[in-house]
C-alpha cells in the first residue's frame, strides 16, 4: 500500500501527533506461533522489576513480551506479528529459529553438549577449518569464546603480548564491549561508568562524514548531504588526510615513539549509529599503525558474515588486511558464540601462559556455527544483503528527501542507519521524546527498529538477512505513515 506523498516535513518545532490512523498492510507469513502459556503480561513486568537487574530496561513505552520467532518475524504473547529490523541487536543473521540451524543444534544436543576442548571432539576441528577458510590466508588460528566483549578482551591481550607495547587506539564513538576491560576501548559516554578503565587506551577523532568537522564521501550507495564539502581523487576522499593527521598526532604526542600495541576499528560503527569513514581513510590508518609498531584489529562483531553485502567481512570493503579479527553476534544466529582469528606468529604468544575458555568452541556451539556458515552460502545471503540492502538504502534516501527530520541515511548492505534531526542545517539531534514517539508508532504498526548513536537519535536497521523487498516496502510505508502522523 502506497501512501500519498507530501511536502518535506519541517523538523524544527518538535513533535505533535495528528489524528490520522492509517495502517499499512503487512506482508503475509504462513507461520503460526504456538499459543502462549506463560505468566501474564503484568506478572512478567512485575517479575522483571523484582528479580532482574534494573539495567535491563525493556524497549518501548509499552514493552513487548516476545513469545516466538520465525525468520524475520517476531510474535508477542497475543500472537501479534512484528517485522524485526534489529535482529536481536544485529545477532540473528539467518533468521529466527532457522530450521537448518535448529536441526543441527538438535542433532548435536542428542549426541554431546559439552566437554570443553581439553578433549578432542570433531565439531570444533571441523568448524575451525571451515571458519578460517573464509578469511585471508594469513589468518589461520582461531580462539573460540562466547561474546564480542570476550573476543575483544582476548584481542587486546594478544596484541600487548605480541608487540611488547601497552598503548591502544580506538575511535571516539566506537563500541567494543562493556566488560571492565573493553569498557576502556569503548568511547561512548552512554556506556561509561565512574570506575577506573581505559588505562593505556587513547581515542582518536572519529572520521564521520556526516558529523565530523571535514565531512567526506563514504563507501555507501547513499552519500551524506555534506559529501560535497570534500572531493575524491583516485578513490580516496581528501578529508581522510585531515582526519589522519589527528590520528598521527596521538601517536606523536601521547605514545612512546614507535610503541603502539594495537589499533581497533569497526568496519562500520554499530552502536555508534552505523557511522562509516571517508573513502580511503582506514587503509591509510592501518599503514600508519604499522609504521608505529602496532597490530591492526578489525572488530567484525556486527559487520561480519556477509552483512555488508559486497564482501563477507566489512574490512574487505576498505582494502585492508588486519592482523586480528574479532567476531560474534551473527556468527551463531543468536547462539552464544564468538571468535578471535589471528596469525600464527601472534597466536604463539599465548604459549607463554595458560589461556582457557570453558565454554568456547563447545560441541553445541561448533555445530551451530558450522550450520550458519553452510546456510549463509546455500541461501546466497551475502548477495541478498547487497541487493536488498542497496534497495533499502535508496528508498530511505528518497524518504530523507521528503522529510527534513531525517538528516542522514547511511550504510552498506543490511548495516543501515537513519539519523533523525531537529534541524537539518545544524544537524542538531532530534529530542529523546520525539524519537520515542516515532519509535513507538513504528512498533505499533508492526516494525521493530533499533536505536543508537551518542544522542540515541539514529534508527539502526540491521535485520535478519532473510528479509525481502516486500518487507522493505512495508517498512518504508510505515515510516512514511508515521512521519505523516507527526506535526513538526
- What pLDDT is attached to residue 2? 36
Residue 427 has pLDDT above 60, yes or no: yes
Other CB atoms within 10 Å distance of the CB of residue 392: 27
Q: Are strands 260-266 and 295-299 parallel, antiparallel or unpaired?
A: parallel
Please tell me the pTM assigned to this model. Answer: 0.94
Task: Evaluate whether 465 touches 384 at the Cβ level (below 8 Å).
Answer: yes
Q: Are 211 and 272 in contact (CB under 8 A)?
A: no
The answer to whether residues 338 and 144 touch, using CB atoms and an 8 Å cutoff, is: yes
CATH code of the domain containing 29: 3.90.1150.10
Instruction: Please state which of the ranges 71-75, 117-121, 170-174, 376-380 shows the lowest mean pLDDT.
Output: 117-121
What is the model's pLDDT at position 54?
A: 80
Q: Are 316 and 390 part of one and the same domain?
A: no
Per-residue pLDDT at 53: 82
- In-domain check, residue 474: yes
Has residue 62 been placed in a domain?
Answer: yes
244 and 260 share one domain: yes
Write the DSSP assignment of 422-441 as a string of letters.
EETTTTEEPPHHHHHHHHHH
Residue 10 forms part of a structural domain = no
Whether residue 5 lies inside any domain: the answer is: no
Report yes or no: 116 and 146 within 8 Å, Cβ to Cβ: no
DSSP 131: H
Q: Are residues 403 and 266 in the same domain?
A: no
Q: Is residue 29 part of a domain?
A: yes
- Identify whether residues 388 and 337 lie together within a single domain: no
pLDDT, mean over the chain:
93
Q: pLDDT by residue (tens digit) across 36-85?
A: 999 999 999 999 989 988 876 778 999 999 999 999 999 999 999 999 99
- 266 phi/psi in degrees, rounded to 5: -75, 145
- Alpha-carbon span 91 to 302, nearest angstrom: 8
Are residue 244 and residue 369 in the same domain, yes or no?
A: yes
Tens-digit pLDDT profile for residues 449-459 = 999 999 999 99
Domain finish residue from 378, 404, 432: 378
Q: What does the pLDDT read at residue 13?
A: 44
Residue 287 has pLDDT above 80, yes or no: yes
Per the structure, the count of domains in the chain is 2
Instruction: Tell me, yes or no, whether 7 lies in a domain.
Output: no
Positive/negative CA dihedral, 176, 178, 179, 182: positive
Looking at the structure, tell me whether residues 419 and 450 fall in a common domain.
Answer: yes
Separation CA 72–CA 465 (nearest Å)? 8
pLDDT in tens, 166-222: 999 999 999 999 898 899 999 998 888 888 888 999 999 999 999 999 999 999 999
pLDDT at 8: 47
Q: 94-103 pLDDT, tens per residue?
A: 999 999 999 9
What does the block give as the cell for 212?
565530523
Question: In the predicted model, is pLDDT for residue 231 greater than 80?
Answer: yes
Q: Are 281 and 349 in a shared domain?
A: yes
- Final residue belonging to a domain, choices 378, 403, 431: 378
Per-residue model confidence (pLDDT) at position 202: 97
In a domain, 431, yes or no: yes
Residues 443 and 329 in one domain: no
Structural domain ending residue among the three candidates 357, 378, 399:
378
Q: Which helix (H) or strand (E) holds 340?
A: strand 338-342
Domain that holds residue 128: 102-378
Residue 425: burial class (beta carbons within 10 Å; 0-12, 13-18, 19+): exposed
Give yes or no: residues 21 and 155 share one domain: no
Query: Which CATH number does the domain housing residue 159 bear?
Result: 3.40.640.10
- Check if the beta carbon of residue 188 is closer than 8 Å to that of residue 272: yes
pLDDT for 487 equals 63
User: Is residue 294 pLDDT above 70, yes or no?
Assistant: yes
Over residues 254-273, mean pLDDT: 97
Q: Domain for residue 159, yes or no? A: yes
Q: Do 297 and 155 share a structural domain?
A: yes
252 in the same domain as 112: yes
* Residue 352 sits in the same domain as residue 391: no
Q: Is the pLDDT of residue 129 over 70?
A: yes
Amino acid at each position: 500500500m502506497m501512501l500519498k506523498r507530501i511536502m518535506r516535513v519541517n523538523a524544527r518545532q518538535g513533535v505533535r501527533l495528528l489524528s490520522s490512523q492509517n495502517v499499512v498492510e503487512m506482508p503475509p507469513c504462513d507461520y503460526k506461533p504456538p499459543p502462549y502459556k506463560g505468566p501474564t503480561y503484568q506478572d512478567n513486568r512485575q517479575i522483571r522489576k523484582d528479580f532482574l537487574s534494573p539495567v535491563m530496561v525493556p524497549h518501548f513505552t509499552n514493552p513487548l513480551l516476545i513469545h516466538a520467532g520465525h525468520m524475520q518475524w517476531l510474535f508477542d504473547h497475543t500472537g501479534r506479528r512484528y517485522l524485526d529490523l534489529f535482529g536481536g541487536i544485529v545477532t540473528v543473521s539467518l533468521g529466527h529459529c532457522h530450521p537448518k540451524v535448529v536441526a543441527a543444534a538438535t542433532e548435536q544436543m542428542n549426541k554431546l553438549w559439552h566437554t570443553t576442548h581439553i578433549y578432542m571432539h570433531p565439531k570444533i576441528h571441523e568448524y575451525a577449518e571451515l571458519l578460517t577458510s573464509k578469511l585471508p590466508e594469513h589468518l589461520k588460528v582461531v580462539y573460540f569464546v562466547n561474546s564480542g566483549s570476550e573476543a575483544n578482551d582476548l584481542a587486546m591481550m594478544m596484541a600487548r603480548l605480541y608487540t611488547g607495547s601497552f598503548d591502544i587506539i580506538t575511535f571516539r564513538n566506537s563500541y567494543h564491549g562493556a566488560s571492565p576491560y573493553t569498557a576502556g576501548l569503548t568511547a561512548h559516554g552512554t556506556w561509561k561508568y565512574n570506575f577506573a578503565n581505559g588505562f593505556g587506551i587513547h581515542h582518536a577523532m572519529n572520521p564521520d562524514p556526516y558529523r565530523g568537522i571535514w565531512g567526506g564521501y563514504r563507501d555507501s550507495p547513499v552519500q551524506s548531504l555534506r559529501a560535497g564539502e570534500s572531493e575524491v581523487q583516485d578513490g580516496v576522499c581528501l578529508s581522510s588526510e585531515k582526519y589522519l593527521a589527528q590520528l598521527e598526532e596521538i601517536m606523536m604526542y601521547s605514545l612512546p615513539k614507535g610503541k603502539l600495541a594495537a589499533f581497533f576499528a569497526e568496519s562500520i560503527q554499530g552502536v555508534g549509529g552505523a557511522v562509516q569513514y571517508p573513502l580511503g581513510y582506514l587503509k591509510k590508518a592501518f599503514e600508519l599503525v604499522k609504521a608505529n609498531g602496532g597490530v591492526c584489529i578489525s572488530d567484525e562483531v556486527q559487520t561480519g558474515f556477509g552483512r555488508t553485502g559486497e564482501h563477507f567481512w566489512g574490512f574487505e570493503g576498505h582494502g585492508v588486511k588486519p592482523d586480528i579479527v574479532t567476531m560474534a553476534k551473527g556468527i551463531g544466529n543468536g547462539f552464544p558464540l564468538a571468535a578471535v582469528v589471528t596469525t600464527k606468529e601472534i597466536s604463539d604468544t599465548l604459549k607463554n601462559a595458560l589461556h582457557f575458555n570453558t565454554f568456547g568452541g563447545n560441541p553445541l556451539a561448533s555445530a551451530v556455527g558450522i550450520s550458519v556458515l553452510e546456510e549463509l552460502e546455500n541461501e546466497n545471503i551475502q548477495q541478498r544483503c547487497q541487493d536488498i540492502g542497496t534497495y533499502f538504502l535508496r528508498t530511505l534516501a528518497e524518504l530523507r528527501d521528503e522529510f527534513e527530520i531525517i538528516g542522514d541515511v547511511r550504510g552498506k548492505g543490511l548495516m543501515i542507519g537513519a539519523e533523525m534531526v531537529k534541524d537539518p542545517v545544524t544537524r542538531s539531534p532530534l529530542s529523546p521524546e520525539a524519537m520515542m514517539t516515532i519509535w513507538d508508532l513504528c512498533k505499533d504498526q508492526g516494525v521493530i527498529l533499533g536505536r543508537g548513536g551518542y544522542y540515541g537519535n539514529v534508527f539502526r536497521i540491521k535485520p535478519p538477512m532473510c528479509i525481502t523487498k516486500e518487507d522493505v516496502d512495508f517498512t518504508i510505508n510505515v515510516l512514511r505513515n508515521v512521519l505523516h502522523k507527526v506535526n513538526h
